[in-house]
Amino acid sequence: MSLRLPLTSCRLFAYASTVGRAKKLKRHFTSSSFSSVRNATASVSTDFPIIPGLEDQMVGYIFGRRKATDVAHSVWKHVLREGDAAVDATCGNGHDTSALVKLVAGESARGRVYGMDIQEGALQSTSCFLRQSLSPQEMELVKLFPMCHSKLAEIVPEDALVRLVAFNLGYLPGGDKAITTRSETTLLALEAAGSIIEPGGLISTVVYVGHPNGREEFETVQAFASGLSTEDWVCCKLQMLNRPLAPVLIFTFKR
Ligand SMILES: C[S@@+](CC[C@H](N)C(=O)[O-])C[C@H]1O[C@@H](n2cnc3c(N)ncnc32)[C@H](O)[C@@H]1O
């Protein structure tokens, strides 16, 4: 069923975690930088380092000079390592897919990115952007699937160690605004992401509240993150309080 767009298989990486849980969480974010969705502070250190680059992106976002996706990409940099597997659950025009490939490929061009979108046009646009932005070796690391992200667990091989699943919700920029992500399938996809993500990994979500289903979808994502156990997850959001239509970032880190 899955149309595999341009790409072929390659080595899967072996992720040997030598870093303890606390260390993994420490590199993720500063505790003062995000508002906690739920009380997740019990076992979380308060001395997280300020991450160079991320702080600039966040301040830029807060003052309207950076996009929410710039902040997300910056957080990804501190989660993904060369050789990791990642999923782009909403490929759209391919900008997030390309960023993910760059992060997992590194110099050795290993790693793997699985991308999906329900619109063929979006996947064509993604393919086109990937051809412009990636090397032929990096292109080999991507597989694209024209399917709903609620089925994402079906396309990722069982032995793939997935460290990041990215959602950039809403409609395709430049496309049909009536075709958007929807709460019901987004929730199924988040649950599927939670079931495949490795310890130390991240589900990264950018939610757009300005379109008709956006507010409801935001509530759904927020409720999902709020309901995750503090034992296994650290969940937070970045939301502009007096710009109610600004996109909201919700990060769920697996301990
Ligand atoms: C905001 S765009 C994504 C932007 C993209 N990540 C980029 O970097 O250009 C949202 C995308 O989600 C796709 N989409 C909507 N419902 C979906 C679903 N159930 N499963 C997968 N993709 C979906 C839309 O077709 C649209 O292309």
- If one residue of 76, 90, 133, 168 were mutated to test the ligand 1 pocket, choosing by the most ligand atoms within 8 A of its CB, it would be 90
Average pLDDT, the chain: 83
The protein residue with its alpha carbon nearest to ligand 1, atom 4, reads 92
The protein residue with its alpha carbon nearest to ligand 1, atom 27, reads 92
- Number of the ligand 1 atom closest to the C-alpha atom of 126: 9
pLDDT at 106: 80
Q: What is the CA radius of gyration of the chain?
A: 17
CA of 181 to the centre of ligand 1 (A): 7
- Number of the ligand 1 atom closest to the C-alpha atom of 185: 19
Rounded to the nearest 10 degrees, how much is the dihedral formed by the CA atoms of 131, 102, 92, 224?
Answer: 160
Domain boundaries, the chain: 21-254
pLDDT at 48: 42
Sign, CA torsion 127/133/139/142: negative
pLDDT at 51: 59
pLDDT tens for each residue of 119-146? 999 999 999 999 999 999 999 999 999 9
Closest CA to 9 of 219, 133, 157: 157
Instruction: Give the least confident one: 99-108, 138-147, 183-192, 232-241.
Output: 99-108
Helix 68-77 to helix 54-62 angle, to the nearest 10 degrees? Answer: 170
Residue 61 is encoded by which pair of tokens?
């976002």
Quick check: CB of 93 below 6 Å from ligand 1?
A: yes
CA of 115 to the centre of ligand 1 (A): 10
CA of 229 to the centre of ligand 1 (A): 28
Please say if the pLDDT value at position 19 is more than 60.
Answer: no
Please say if the pLDDT value at position 238 is more than 70.
Answer: yes
- Three-state SS for 101? helix
**Tokens 């920029």 — which residue?**
173
pLDDT tens for each residue of 38-86? 333 334 444 444 556 888 888 889 998 899 999 999 999 999 999 999 9
CATH superfamily of 21-254: Vaccinia Virus protein VP39 (3.40.50.150)
